[in-house]
């Protein structure tokens, strides 16, 4: 029996059931174990680890055997006793605008809701006139904030930005959905991919997850995580990275922006070794001014520069 740990949110459970179904089709018995994470209790908690801490603790303590995460939620630092062991085939990694036919169609000063610092930076870099406001909650809660769906007194927004992958997995098809396209719109590292985490010394699980593993998505994930890791990205960072396989090689885009959209840098490089390519893109972003943008964002948040602290004891 494989005990598969998942957050309790509707999207997380849809993702967990998809993984469980693939494992069962390969002949494995699977039990889904629902886990409440810090992020479920307090979405405003600043640390990115809020979505994974309790799941990793379950792995360390042996109450679950495998954890399924949205790969974009997994911090760069993983406890030494654990490892990412597989990635599922990637869904559409793009962000989408909901509520208007395109970003250009929004009127000046329109209110756009997002919970992502990266998305806010990219929106303001492209349309500095927008009023970008923070909205939290699950996908349906955020969709409910659109002006057409709520009474005027309920603080509506004119449009929201969400991940296309989450909408697709939940089967949501709201009106007025358009992908955000442009040089600044680089998705979050791992967006659209599910990452599976297990104990590093569990060969049976490592063998079982081959049933759901997608090698191209895994390679892209390694490259994208290498960008954020080399930049020391944390919860204050507006960082994007997106890798694609083209022919026999890889193409990797990177983005770093100021949260207010006042400055941003991008780079795109080709290569064949994902982690080396990620390190190269990160270094080129640094040369273009990424460190200054990241340090300014940290200073505004009163968080010291540098990578996330090592979380040896911390077992989305």
Q: Which of helix, strand or coil describes residue 44?
A: coil
Which alpha helices (H) appear in 103-214, and where do they start and end?
A: 117-126, 139-143, 164-170, 203-208
Q: b/e per residue, 4-25, with b = 16+ CB within 10 A?
A: bbbbebebbbebbeebbebbee
Side-chain-facing half-sphere of 90: CA atoms under 13 Å:
23
Catalytic residues: 72-73, 118-119, 136, 142, 235
Distance between CA atoms of 6 and 82, rounded to whole angstroms?
16
Cβ atoms of residues 99 and 176 within 8 Å: yes
Structure tokens at 141: 């809660």
Distance between CA atoms of 178 and 169, rounded to whole angstroms?
17
Q: Which helix (H) or strand (E) holds 302?
A: none
């Amino acid at each position: 029996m494989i005990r598969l740990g998942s957050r309790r949110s509707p999207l997380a459970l849809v993702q967990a059931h998809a993984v469980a179904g693939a494992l069962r089709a390969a002949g494995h018995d699977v039990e889904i174990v629902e886990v409440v994470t810090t992020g479920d209790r307090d979405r405003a908690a600043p640390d990115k680890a809020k979505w994974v801490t309790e799941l990793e603790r379950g792995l360390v303590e042996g109450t679950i055997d495998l954890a399924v995460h949205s790969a974009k939620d997994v911090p760069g630092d993983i406890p030494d006793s654990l490892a990412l062991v597989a990635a599922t085939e990637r869904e559409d990694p793009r962000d989408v605008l909901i509520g208007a036919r395109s970003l250009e169609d929004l009127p000046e000063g329109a209110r756009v809701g997002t919970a992502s610092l990266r998305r806010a930076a990219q929106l303001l870099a492209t349309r500095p006139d927008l009023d970008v406001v923070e909205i939290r909650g699950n996908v349906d809660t955020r969709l409910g904030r659109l002006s057409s769906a709520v009474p005027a007194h309920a603080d509506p927004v004119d449009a929201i930005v969400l991940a296309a992958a989450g909408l697709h997995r939940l089967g949501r098809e709201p009106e007025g959905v358009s992908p955000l396209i442009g040089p600044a719109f680089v998705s979050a590292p791992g967006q659209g991919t599910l990452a599976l985490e297990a104990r590093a010394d569990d060969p049976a699980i490592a063998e079982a997850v081959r049933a759901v593993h997608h090698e191209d998505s895994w390679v892209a994930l390694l490259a994208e995580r290498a960008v954020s890791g080399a930049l020391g990205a944390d919860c204050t960072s507006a960082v994007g990275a997106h890798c694609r396989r083209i022919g026999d090689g890889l193409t990797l885009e990177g983005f770093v922006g100021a949260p207010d959209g006042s400055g941003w840098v991008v780079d795109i490089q080709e290569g064949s070794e994902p982690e080396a390519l990620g390190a190269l893109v990160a270094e080129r972003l640094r040369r273009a001014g990424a460190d200054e943008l990241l340090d300014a964002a940290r200073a505004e948040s009163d968080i010291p520069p540098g990578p996330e602290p090592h979380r040896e004891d911390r077992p989305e």
